[in-house]
Structure 1
Amino acid sequence: MEGKPVSAQMEVQENEISLKDLVGYLKGEVKYLKSRWLVILGIGVVAALLGFAYALVKKTTYTAISTFVLEDGSKGGGLGQYAGLASLAGIDIGGGGGGGIFQGDNILELYKSRLMIEKTLLTPVVIDGKQQLLIDRYITSNNLLEKWKKGDNISTITFTGSPGNFSRKQDSIITDLTNKFNEKMLSVVKLDKKLSIIKVEVSTTDELFSKVFNSKLVETVNNFYAQTKTKKSYQNVQVLQKQADSVKNVLGSAITGVASAMDAAPNANPAMSTLRVPSQKRQVDVQASSAIYSEIVKNLEISKIALRQETPLIQVIDEPVLPLPASKVSKLKGMLMGFILGVVIVSLFLVGKRVIKQIMA
């Protein structure tokens, strides 16, 4: 059996020596840390006390959770049989819509948009028997006005009125709150990419605010979604309804004209055809108006079907119910986490300081 090449044997020996050196080095560092156990223990105790203080100061967080299923109504379905008839009348019933601006996961981003969060914050609600805007409730429960007095010299602020007339400071506050919600307090996800179930979570230190804000946000976004999806079909229905009402009035006038013309010559001489001309003209108007009205009504009903077909089905599955799930750092957990973190940090600091000292020597 042939032996290993000399170079290979030297490499193995070097590796073995390096491993031994490493183990020896680690043992030396551990021994050094043991010699400084009193310092490490002291820092650990201080960190544990800081963790205890953090647990005392840290407020309880309440999480409101809503889930709902979204079924898009823009698939066309039974509208195919009406498409040909509607196209003859020059009407786009929108049955083959396709995606639109809310296709895919865009609705998730809609929940995080400034517009939706602003609309929700400016919603008047009744909490604890008091009617107020949600944004006022949030400012009060988080003592923001006191912070603004010190930092921004804002002693009072109101958010009543139209958002379009807000001042620069009001817009700035809403923008800051929108960013804060998106970063820390609001979560919108699909439970499964293959399903249409959406989960909305809102976490704040105010239990009632979390519950109401969650419910109002879901309501605001879903209403906006449904109205925008059906806007085109709704406009078609409105136009056709106006046309139907207008033609119906014309038809009523024509029928009244026929009756008036016949009353003007109730016993017309059959030999005098000119006496029947006014009533016959009115009769033509009645027939023409009746045909037009019939077609418009038919197209109006088709457009109403399209509107119902395009209206998305949004069914809430779970709503936030009091008491909400609470998240609180316990005192024991705070102390334990503080102690471990303190020991790790001071150990790394001591080892790093020793290594630097050895290198500089």
Structure 2
Amino acid sequence: MEKTHIPTASNNDEIDLLELAKTVWDKKRLLISIVVLFALLGVLVALVSQNEFTAGSTFVPQTSEQGKVGGNLGGLASLAGINLGGLSGGSEIPPSLYPKIVSSVSFKKDLLNATLNTQGNSQPITYQYYFDSIYRPGLLPLISKYSVGLPGFLIKTIKNNKVIDSPSNGYGLINVTENEFGHFKRLDNQVSIQFNEKEGFVSLSFSMPESLMAAQMAKFAEELLQKEVIEFKIQNAREQLKFTEERFEEKKIEFEEIQRKLANFRDRNQNLSSAIVLNQLEKLEAEYNFAFNIYTELAKQLEQAKLQVSKDTPIFSIIQPVTIPIEKSAPKRPLIVIVFVFLGLIIAFGYIFGREFFISVKDQWESKYL
């Protein structure tokens, strides 16, 4: 009896590469057309994209070594993959937390008030004023704003027209307006900070539409970050210095007053030798000596407090200072074109094979039910 070959499921599920290649070859014009269209679109996007310049600096924070766990123990722990840096007892901010400072609301508010010298403006302006009144976005942001982002833009416009009384100021909280929040989102993409834990250095960069502004904002952000770290580190020493200065000024006034009384008493009683006068003189001299000792001791403590503030102040060693960038950092126009070409290839292949699959499924359904 003659046997018929029954195709197995594995045979049906096999992919015929030659058939796929033939399908692509038959649709080569469509494939080339889609790829060329996306390549032209990529060239257009690359040309209308706005230039950006990135400036930055690299520095090493000289942190205190006092609060660390013993050197030998810490070295052995690091070899074992254990980080004992968190066990230090110093009141300083570790460099690993610098990104948290940069992303804080108070830090961003200070960045909005950074002064800039821009081309075409004789007077310095702030970062916020530049992006509110001077900056003109490119074509792509405008198209995105009034197409995909149109609903959000309308909602934002309606919210801005409403007068809302914020009760946060009455409670001493930080209030962020809608305008500031929009600037904050831009800052998140413009400022970048990284800490190299292995080498121990910090890299900070800032991107702006102009090279000079990028360097100015990078320098301002660097100085602001270092100021925040220094303020936190010397907070205790500065409070102690302030307390000592207040006590020193009080005792100085008291000492000068007793000194004046003693001098006046001696001037009035130069030739008198009565016991009462001598007792009063001894009493004033005792008060004077007591006040002088306190005054002298506070003067020493005041100098020690000043030295402690200087001692606790962190030092930042600048490895790479901020320089005005010459070459733009974005957009990467060749990369944009390549990405659009690959995107065109993916869409073209997806359309060709998807269309063939849909036709084959339709033919099978018609042959089975019609």
**Does the TM-score normalized on the shorter chain lie above 0.5?**
yes
Give the alignment partner of residue 294 of structure 1, picking from 287, 293, 296.
296
Aligned identity (percent) is 17
- Distance change >3 Å, CA 212–CA 234, structure 1 → 2: same
CA deviation string 1:14-48 (max 9, x = no partner)? 99x959974x6122111111111011111111111
Q: Contact conserved, 2:67 with 2:90, CA < 8 A, in 1? A: no
Q: CA deviation at 1:125?
A: 3.5
C-alpha RMSD of matched pairs (Å): 3.6
* TM-score (normalised: structure 2): 0.73
Partner of 1:188: 193
Matched, 1:275 2:277: yes
* Shift in alpha-carbon separation, 1:223–1:332, aligned structure 2, 3 A: closer
Aligned to 1:257: 261
Query: Match of 2:228, as an amino acid?
Result: F
Select 1:107's aligned residue among 98, 103, 108. 98
Instruction: Show the counterpart of 2:135.
Output: 141
Deviation per residue, 1:134-193 (Å, 9 max, x gap): 11123322359x979x853899xxxxxxx979xx997112112212321x2221101x21
**1:92 alignment partner in structure 2:** none
Aligned AA (2:324): L
Q: 2 CA distance for matches of 1:262 and 1:54?
A: 93
Does structure 1 conserve the Cα–Cα contact (< 8 Å) formed by 2:116 and 2:213?
Answer: no
Q: Which amino acid aligns with 1:353?
A: R
Cα deviation, 1:71-111, whole Å, max 9, x if unaligned, reads: 2248379xxxxxxxxxxxxxxxxxx9834472352222101
1:92-241 maps to which residues of 2 (within 5 A)? 98-100=89-91, 102-128=93-119, 129-139=122-132, 140-143=134-137, 151=154, 152=157, 171-182=177-188, 184-190=189-195, 192-241=196-245
1:237, CA displacement in angstroms? 0.7
Q: Does 1:75 pair with 2:66?
A: yes
Give the counterpart letter for 2:50 in structure 1. Answer: K
Offset at 1:286?
1.1
Cα offset, 1:324, TM superposition: 3.7
Aligned partner of 1:142: which letter?
Answer: R
Of 233-242 and 320-329, the range deviating more from structure 2: 320-329
SS at match of 1:102: coil
**Amino acid corresponding to residue 117 of structure 1 in structure 2:** K
Asked if 1 retains the 8 angstrom alpha-carbon contact of 2:53 and 2:330, the reply is no
**Matches for 1:293-332 after TM superposition, within 5 Å:** 293-329=295-331
Q: Deviations over 1:103-135 (max 9, x none)?
A: 352222101222112111113343343221111
Cα distance in 1, alignment partners of residues 92 and 235 from structure 2: 12
Residues 125, 154 of structure 1: alpha-carbon distance in 2 compared, 3 angstrom cutoff: farther
TM-superposition CA deviations, 1:315-341 (whole Å, max 9, x none) = 333233223431355766654543343
CA displacement 1:36-70 (0-9 Å, x = unmatched): 10111111111111111111111222111122221
Count of residues in Structure 1 that have an aligned counterpart in Structure 2: 315
Amino acid at match of 1:68: F
Structure 1 stretches of 5 or more lacking a match? Answer: 1-13, 78-95, 156-162
TM-score by length of 1: 0.75
Q: Structure 2 vs 1, CA of residues 239 and 340 (structure 1 numbering), >3 Å: closer, same or farther?
A: closer
Q: Does 1:30 align with 2:21?
A: yes
Name the amino acid aligned to 2:28: W
The one-letter amino acid paired with 2:261 is: G
